[in-house]
């Protein structure tokens, strides 16, 4: 979530982005279909028929007398093409970018998950302040963490509800708790096996140092803070020593990444190992870079921007086609904007009276 406190080591990176209030982002579908932004009259999202032919989920008896649970399907296509099922299925395409926001109220009282082009098709019950939502490539399930003032933070696997639970305190009772933590800073996921990687605010969990792989197994980051999880239990990390330094960490060993001094503000795992990263530096608003497993960095190209833009927006994510999505509030690009290397930036979901202040952009690892 964009308003979440960032770790100290990323303060310089975040301030660099914050100081350049421009555009960068968007959603899975780049064309709005004119659907209204309000709840459907009956409280249910329509079956938009926009999904690929996949195995549908099997319904089980509801855990709370409300919406039914679902059995995981054999898998969801992770093929670099956004072909979403209706959000009500509880199965999400890791190639797409979804929005988790409250576009009507602009606060945290009633978060919804939806595609930018189909805002009327939505699901509910994320609690107040869901953070680090991520889609698991192995089965299309959605995970996030949310903080409870009494019990601390918990990692949840999402079970969809097409009708809202109006009392915020009851929303998370419909969700499946996976892990607990005093106050996670961020949630990551290894793309090849779908295991979670999570960090705790006090860097301890059950008396051990963090971060941790799902199940409580410590992961030695060799002094770096995690930015993204990759294949074969590798993690892209950063540290301030002073200045920003990057490395690929595996088995407690750090392989330096040739990007020292750069401001990497969006990253994603790369098929075959390594990562994709977007950075900014003097004279460059946003550049896509390929980080190879041995730490070599190759420039792919600069994202097209509007004349006069001085930096990237906030909460940026990459989809699997390497389009860049961010929240921005500058000029005509006020909202969620999509950047590519070969076309002008495109507004895919507009800001309305500050209603995107708590937005999260949701995609795979």
Burial of 213 (0-12, 13-18, 19+ CB in 10 A): middle
Beta strands in 182-220 (DSSP E): 184-189, 196-200, 204-205, 208-209, 212-213, 217-218
Residue 307 neighbours by CB under 8 Å, 6+ apart:
none
pLDDT per residue over 227-272, tens digit each?
999 999 999 999 988 889 999 999 999 999 998 778 899 999 999 9
- Domain assignments of the chain as residue spans, ordered by start: 8-362
- What CA–CA distance (Å, rounded) separates 91 from 157? 11
pTM: 0.78
Distance in angstroms (rounded) separating the CA atoms of residues 174 and 123? 12
28 has a pLDDT exceeding 50: no
Identify the band that residue 10 occupies on the pLDDT scale cut at 50, 70 and 90: very low
Is there a cis peptide before residue 65, judged by omega within 30 degrees of 0?
A: no
What is the percentage of the chain residues whose pLDDT exceeds 70?
70
* Residue of 83, 71, 17 lying closest to 326 (CA atoms): 17
pLDDT value at residue 353:
60
**What is the rounded CA–CA span in Å between residue 76 and residue 80?**
12
pLDDT the model gives residue 350? 87
pLDDT digits (tens, 9 = 90+) for 79-128: 888 999 999 999 999 999 999 988 777 666 788 999 998 989 999 998 87
What is the signed CA dihedral for 223, 189, 187, 338, rounded to 10 degrees? 110
As a CATH number, domain 8-362 is 2.130.10
End-to-end distance of the chain based on CA atoms, in angstroms? 16
């Amino acid at each position: 979530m964009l308003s979440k406190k960032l770790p100290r080591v990323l303060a310089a990176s975040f301030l660099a982005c914050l100081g350049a209030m421009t555009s960068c982002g968007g959603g899975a579908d780049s064309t709005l279909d004119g659907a209204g932004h309000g709840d459907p009259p009956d409280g249910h999202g329509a079956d938009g028929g926009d999904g690929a032919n996949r195995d549908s989920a099997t319904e089980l008896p509801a855990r709370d007398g409300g919406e039914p649970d679902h059995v995981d399907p054999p898998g969801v296509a992770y093929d670099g093409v956004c072909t979403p099922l209706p959000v009500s299925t509880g199965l999400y395409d890791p190639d797409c970018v979804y929005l988790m926001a409250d576009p009507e109220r602009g606060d945290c009282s009633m978060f919804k998950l939806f595609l930018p082009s189909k805002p009327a098709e939505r699901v509910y019950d994320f609690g107040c302040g869901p953070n680090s939502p991520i889609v698991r490539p192995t089965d299309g399930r959605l995970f996030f963490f949310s903080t409870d003032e009494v019990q601390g933070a918990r990692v949840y696997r999402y079970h969809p509800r097409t009708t809202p639970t109006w009392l915020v305190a009851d929303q998370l009772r419909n969700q499946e708790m996976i892990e607990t933590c005093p106050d996670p800073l961020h949630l990551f996921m290894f793309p090849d096996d779908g295991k979670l990687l999570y960090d705790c605010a006090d860097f301890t969990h059950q008396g051990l140092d963090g971060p941790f792989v799902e199940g409580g197994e410590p992961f030695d980051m060799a002094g770096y803070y995690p930015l993204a999880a990759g294949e074969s239990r590798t993690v892209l990390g950063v540290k301030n020593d002073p200045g920003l330094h990057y490395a690929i960490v595996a088995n407690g060993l750090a392989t330096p990444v040739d990007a020292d001094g750069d401001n990497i503000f969006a990253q994603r795992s790369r098929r075959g190992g390594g990562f994709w990263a977007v950075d900014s530096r003097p004279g460059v608003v946003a550049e896509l870079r390929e980080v190879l497993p041995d730490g070599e960095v190759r420039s792919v190209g600069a994202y097209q921007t509007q004349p006069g833009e001085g930096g990237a927006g906030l909460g940026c994510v990459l989809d699997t086609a390497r389009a860049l999505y961010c929240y921005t509030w500058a000029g005509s690009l006020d909202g969620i904007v999509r950047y590519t290397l070969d076309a002008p930036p495109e507004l895919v979901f507009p800001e309305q009276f500050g209603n995107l202040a708590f937005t999260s952009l949701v995609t795979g690892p």
